[in-house]
Structure 1
Amino acid sequence: MNNDKNVDKLKVIPLGGLGEFGMNCMAIRYKDDIIVIDAGLMFPEDELLGVDIVVPDITYLLENRAMVRGILLTHGHEDHIGGLPRILTELNVPVYGTEFTLTYVEGKLEEHKLLDGADLIEMVPGERFNIGPFNIQPIRVTHSLVDCVALAVRTPVGTIVHTGDFKIDLSSPDGKPFDLHSFAELGKEGVLLLLQDSTNCDRPGYTPGELAVRPRLDEIFSRAKRRLFFSCFSSSIHRIKLAMDLAHQHGRKVALIGRSMDNATEIAQDLGYINPPEGLLIHSGQIRDFPPEKVCVMISGTQGEPMSALSRAAVDNHKHAKIEAGDTVLLSSRVIPGNEKSIFSMIDHLYRRNAKVIYDDGASGLIHVSGHASQEELRLMINLLRPKFFVPVHGDYRHLTRHIEVATSTTIPERCILIEDGEVLELDANSATKTGKVTSGRVLIDSGSTSDVIEDIIIRDRKHLSEAGLVLAIISIDKMTGRQEGTAEIVTRGFAVNEEGMHAEARKIIQRTLETSSDEEKRDWMLIKEKIRADLKRYIQKNTGRRPMVMPVILEI
């Protein structure tokens, strides 16, 4: 007989996404079965020099690999699927997602040569299925991407609802509105725990539906005198479809430029989300075959990414996308925090081309709407589901805290609990308690690879080099006598000082260090290098106030 008091407890363990935006990954464990909701990445902050992507530390899953039954994906954005290649190289378990999400995943896994060994299983909104002791019900939600779901997970302890990213749009352009009815039914049945998207918890009111941008975009299409360059997130399938509809309505041909725009549109056409009229789409090489007022160029690069199509066009460095005086450039997107500098630099270049630039500057009329629920929608969901316990997910600490205030104002959850990455929340039918921590954190990936993991010390070295520069001391030593041959060569990079004076003194210090070292010390190259490094570092810091990275190199001759 098992006397473990916790054997029947349900454990909820966030491995990413609670305390930061991105890297969403949540483990749910009952006894010896674990399911994982989402496997996202995060794009690095500026101080993570040379790092391409950041993914969650999955040590906990690897330690319990025999228990992991599958990964369930709520939708196809990078912050929910981008960590999959890294995870599947270490933990090849079934991956569940909707049709559109899995199509995105296939492309990503193929790129990393992981598709052949992957077990991808489609889930259909409304159709329940079992994974071990868990009964999963995907529920249709609306977001800025298509084919998104929330997940109701029925367990022996009670039902957990994970909203994924959502907003409540009852007039979705694809005719697949937010499934309010299923959430209401769950509320009647009883919900133990609600895990709810925190992204817009500080915005009052309701988030407008996707069709709210149509009037302003229609006006822009009608007023554009010459070519119209339309840029939005390539995953915004509804926005791409709307732009194509408006182009057709205003007699413009559509050219697609940019790999991500091409890929997203191709997938959306294959799955029936976009059906452009025959003859509407033209090849990018045909743009100049039509009068400027008869062309709409849909182009990727709305966030000013350095090598994106729009950034290259802004500096007149794109083969087909030539932006000229009088052309209109519309950025139908929001400025993602952290990208301001690159976006406004790109906009400056567009103004230098004498283009008319329209972006989300708070002017009248919507050119972009968020894909995340605002406060009233969050309250509405809580009122529908009537959960016993509430945990905010997806956001920085301040968002999680603010979201708890919103949830508390409804007076419905018995208890609202703020947990962060790695913290274990244990639940039974009547209680929810934080009981400890598991290993969690960030894994830094270089070069977009799934294997080039960057250690913190490398980032520290890169930061040190970028701020203080490098001093390289190359010393030739006779391996027979242990004596220095000639004078040391001093090389500096990124270190602006009076080089001649410093170099001469540095050579003297190296010579003095060698002369005062014993024969035994001289036979230990590592020890000698460390002594030279310490003496040079002390001299440079004392005389210049700077702390460059000092690297002695000993050449045996």
Structure 2
Amino acid sequence: MAASRLQTPPKLRHGTLRVIPLGGLGDIGRNMAALEINGQLLLIDCGVLFPEDDHPGVDLILPGFDAIADRLDDVVGLVLTHGHEDHIGGVPYLLRQRSDIPIIGSRLTLALVAEKVKEHRLSGVQPRPVAEGDRVELGEFDLEFVAVNHSIPDGLAVFVRTAGGTVLHTGDFKMDQLPLDGRLTDLRALARLGEEGVDLLMIDSTNAEVPGFTTPEKDILPALQRVFATSKQRLIVTSFASHVHRVQQVLDTAVAYSRKVAYVGRSMVRNMNIARDLGYLKVPENTVIELRELDNYRPDQVVLVSTGSQGEPLSALARIANREHPAIQLEPGDTVLLASSLVPGNENAVYRVINGLTRLGARVVHRGNALVHVSGHASAGELLYVYNLLKPANVMPVHGESRHLIANADLAVSTGVPRDHTIIAEDGTVVDLKDHRAKAVGQIECDYIFVDGSTVGDISQSSLTDRRILGEEGFISVVAVVNLRSKKVLSGPDIHDRGFLEDPSIYEPVRERIAQALTDALEDGVDDTHRLQQVIRRQIGKWVSDTYRRRPMIIPVVVAV
């Protein structure tokens, strides 16, 4: 069931539960949802989306929490399912608007959030740690937490009981039956909740198109060992900075091959120290060294664990590939292992880094040529298992692009969920739950919020379009001085460009055409500089399009004397 576009939802009735996804539907990132009943709001997750090539100058993209900006006093809590950036990265920006929102999450998740809060210099934050099996009441919401397995420790699903019905939000999960930390997705708890009754299941869709079951984490160990065994010089392993399980495997393998380990990248150092201090990362004695100690060891005695798995331009790996890192210089024969998946949209950036590393003589091992990464998300077989276990009355797939959401809904239907009880929503879709029936009842604005340096929310789609044009097509400025009384062009038009052709001689054919068009407009009584600027824009725009098939930004300036 697809949501209608920009349809004002009806007034929420007492006792009806309203669910509004504020991010994460149609994208891989910026996950967030709002639940409302009897005047109170509960938020689930608040992540970021990392920009793509068509977002020039943008650092982060936030969920659409501007949609609830005037309702923040009604928020009784923010539940965080786990500690990945696409689920917690937006928390400091939300807390800027109201710092005392209770933050509910696992120990590791809250520890990662605490570092972000410290960086943003926020005060008055109220963390509330929970664990699987805990039950918490927040106003109209009765919350129960369930252990789920993911690619970061301490993931939680949340079961929400309200007067309007029940909602199970899975967060990101998979069903690894041999997890590295021994923490399974709690199928017994899910079965019990299924017996109680799940009115609306909000379920991870990332791998809905992938058949079968997700490969266990332990299965990458042989490939990891082969890389260590065949690396005769320095070895660099890059991973998500929050992938504690992968770093644990690297640490254990490094010990087996008598290598020391150094972390590279601020977020990697910070996250691994947090994980170690909380007991999630077991660091063998005398294994981890500081980056400044590298010169004390031969290249074949160390392994570097680095950030930059997604080709981020300022990451440690990208700087190494560009020979810009202050402490690490790649040598021919070194090995780089990308132990991560490709987040959709990052492909070009990642392959640019791989090409740069290869040009420097490195052997690059990645998911495309070896089993060095497995997904943290449930594949189709696991999703089917969950549907059959829970028997939900209604399903709203979340966390994925449109194709993932639709594939997930099809899986639900195949297990017996009626087609009209599956909701293919998008960000801003308003879903009401009453008497065990969920329906899309409207659509609200839920735009991207762009972060550019310290600026939040002041960047519009039109300004991004301008940035793309400037970056891809360049710009042309045209300056003319006119006398409105004598109806003459006194000076110019002077034409300059940047990033177009940058050859002044090419404009000779159009310069006279612009001057004549201005003279004609003045003689026709046009005495408005804005309208005269439009005359210039039309003349040079048509000429550039006809001559060069390009569309640079055109900046006309008319000075009237």
TM-score scaled by length of structure 2: 0.90
Alignment-derived partner of residue 4 in structure 2: none
1:425 to 431, 434, 445: 431
Change (3 A) 1:343 1:456: closer
Alignment-derived partner of residue 391 in structure 2: 386
Give the Cα–Cα distance (whole angstroms) in 1 for the partners of residues 79 and 405 of structure 2: 23
Give the Cα–Cα distance (whole angstroms) in 1 for the partners of residues 183 and 525 of structure 2: 79
Alignment-derived partner of residue 105 in structure 1: 113
Question: In the alignment, does 2:533 pair up with 1:529?
Answer: yes
Change (3 A) 1:507 1:170: same
Q: Secondary structure at the match of 1:473?
A: strand
Q: Secondary structure at the match of 1:457?
A: helix
Change (3 A) 1:479 1:259: farther
Alignment-derived partner of residue 469 in structure 2: 464
Deviation at 1:532, TM superposition (A): 3.2
Give the Cα–Cα distance (whole angstroms) in 2 for the partners of residues 386 and 548 of structure 1: 56
1:238 to 210, 234, 245: 245
Change (3 A) 1:466 1:503: farther
Alignment-derived partner of residue 548 in structure 1: 552
Q: Secondary structure at the match of 1:14?
A: strand
Question: In the alignment, does 2:381 pair up with 1:373?
Answer: no
Change (3 A) 1:58 1:314: closer
Deviation at 1:147, TM superposition (A): 1.3
Change (3 A) 1:195 1:537: same
Q: Secondary structure at the match of 2:555?
A: strand
On the 8 A contact 1:19/1:395 being kept in 2, the answer is yes
Deviation at 1:262, TM superposition (A): 0.9
Alignment-derived partner of residue 329 in structure 2: 322
Q: Secondary structure at the match of 2:48?
A: coil
Give the Cα–Cα distance (whole angstroms) in 2 for the partners of residues 356 and 495 of structure 1: 38
Alignment-derived partner of residue 274 in structure 1: 281
On the 8 A contact 2:487/2:522 being kept in 1, the answer is no
Question: In the alignment, does 2:368 pair up with 1:361?
Answer: yes
Q: Which moved more, 1:284-293 or 1:123-132?
A: 284-293
On the 8 A contact 1:482/1:519 being kept in 2, the answer is no
Give the Cα–Cα distance (whole angstroms) in 2 for the partners of residues 215 and 346 of structure 1: 25
Question: In the alignment, does 2:503 pair up with 1:495?
Answer: no
Give the Cα–Cα distance (whole angstroms) in 2 for the partners of residues 543 and 281 of structure 1: 62
Give the Cα–Cα distance (whole angstroms) in 2 for the partners of residues 117 and 520 of structure 1: 63
Alignment-derived partner of residue 102 in structure 2: 94
On the 8 A contact 1:85/1:450 being kept in 2, the answer is no
Q: Secondary structure at the match of 1:90?
A: coil
Alignment-derived partner of residue 149 in structure 2: 142
Give the Cα–Cα distance (whole angstroms) in 2 for the partners of residues 320 and 494 of structure 1: 35
Alignment-derived partner of residue 446 in structure 1: 452
Letter matched to residue 218 of structure 2: L
Question: In the alignment, does 2:304 pair up with 1:300?
Answer: no
Give the Cα–Cα distance (whole angstroms) in 1 for the partners of residues 158 and 502 of structure 2: 61
Letter matched to residue 103 of structure 1: A
Letter matched to residue 28 of structure 2: F
Deviation at 1:352, TM superposition (A): 3.1
Letter matched to residue 496 of structure 1: L
On the 8 A contact 2:199/2:437 being kept in 1, the answer is no
On the 8 A contact 2:488/2:522 being kept in 1, the answer is no
Change (3 A) 1:134 1:527: same
On the 8 A contact 2:493/2:514 being kept in 1, the answer is no
Q: How many residues align?
A: 549
Q: Secondary structure at the match of 2:328?
A: coil
Q: Secondary structure at the match of 1:453?
A: coil
Letter matched to residue 95 of structure 1: I
2:261 to 226, 229, 254: 254
Give the Cα–Cα distance (whole angstroms) in 1 for the partners of residues 531 and 288 of structure 2: 68
Query: Which ranges of structure 1 fall in alignment gaps of 5 or more residues?
Result: none
On the 8 A contact 1:145/1:237 being kept in 2, the answer is yes
Q: Secondary structure at the match of 2:465?
A: helix
Change (3 A) 1:460 1:172: same
Question: In the alignment, does 2:354 pair up with 1:347?
Answer: yes
Letter matched to residue 345 of structure 2: G
Q: Secondary structure at the match of 2:554?
A: strand
Deviation at 1:542, TM superposition (A): 4.9
Query: Which ranges of structure 2 fall in alignment gaps of 5 or more residues?
Result: 1-10
Q: Secondary structure at the match of 1:488?
A: strand
On the 8 A contact 2:495/2:504 being kept in 1, the answer is no
On the 8 A contact 1:383/1:412 being kept in 2, the answer is no
Change (3 A) 1:144 1:132: same
Give the Cα–Cα distance (whole angstroms) in 2 for the partners of residues 342 and 460 of structure 1: 21
Q: Secondary structure at the match of 1:351?
A: helix
On the 8 A contact 1:89/1:450 being kept in 2, the answer is no
Change (3 A) 1:260 1:538: same
Letter matched to residue 374 of structure 1: S
Give the Cα–Cα distance (whole angstroms) in 2 for the partners of residues 495 and 316 of structure 1: 30
Give the Cα–Cα distance (whole angstroms) in 2 for the partners of residues 407 and 145 of structure 1: 26
TM-score scaled by length of structure 1: 0.91
Give the Cα–Cα distance (whole angstroms) in 2 for the partners of residues 450 and 318 of structure 1: 28
What are the equivalent positions in structure 2 for 1:476-495 lying under 5 Å apart?
A: 476=481, 484-495=489-500
Change (3 A) 1:506 1:181: same
Q: Which moved more, 1:432-441 or 1:508-517?
A: 508-517
Deviation at 1:265, TM superposition (A): 1.0
Question: In the alignment, does 2:209 pair up with 1:202?
Answer: yes
Alignment-derived partner of residue 398 in structure 1: 403
Deviation at 1:431, TM superposition (A): 2.0
Alignment-derived partner of residue 311 in structure 1: 318
On the 8 A contact 1:141/1:177 being kept in 2, the answer is yes
Deviation at 1:195, TM superposition (A): 0.8
Q: Secondary structure at the match of 1:348?
A: helix
Give the Cα–Cα distance (whole angstroms) in 2 for the partners of residues 466 and 318 of structure 1: 26
On the 8 A contact 1:24/1:41 being kept in 2, the answer is yes
Give the Cα–Cα distance (whole angstroms) in 2 for the partners of residues 537 and 350 of structure 1: 42
Alignment-derived partner of residue 63 in structure 2: 56
On the 8 A contact 2:510/2:540 being kept in 1, the answer is no
Deviation at 1:301, TM superposition (A): 1.5
Alignment-derived partner of residue 162 in structure 1: 169
Alignment-derived partner of residue 220 in structure 2: 213
Q: Which moved more, 1:474-483 or 1:412-421?
A: 474-483
Q: Which moved more, 1:285-294 or 1:16-25?
A: 285-294
Percent identical pairs in the alignment equals 38
Q: Secondary structure at the match of 2:254?
A: helix
Q: Which moved more, 1:286-295 or 1:182-191?
A: 286-295
Give the Cα–Cα distance (whole angstroms) in 1 for the partners of residues 476 and 323 of structure 2: 40
Alignment-derived partner of residue 506 in structure 1: 511
Change (3 A) 1:349 1:457: closer
Give the Cα–Cα distance (whole angstroms) in 1 for the partners of residues 319 and 131 of structure 2: 40
On the 8 A contact 1:487/1:507 being kept in 2, the answer is no
Deviation at 1:155, TM superposition (A): 0.9
Q: Secondary structure at the match of 1:64?
A: helix
Letter matched to residue 416 of structure 2: T
Letter matched to residue 173 of structure 2: F
Give the Cα–Cα distance (whole angstroms) in 2 for the partners of residues 39 and 47 of structure 1: 23
Letter matched to residue 89 of structure 2: G
Give the Cα–Cα distance (whole angstroms) in 1 for the partners of residues 389 and 135 of structure 2: 20
On the 8 A contact 1:19/1:397 being kept in 2, the answer is yes
Change (3 A) 1:329 1:542: closer
Q: Which moved more, 1:526-535 or 1:222-231?
A: 526-535
On the 8 A contact 2:161/2:167 being kept in 1, the answer is yes
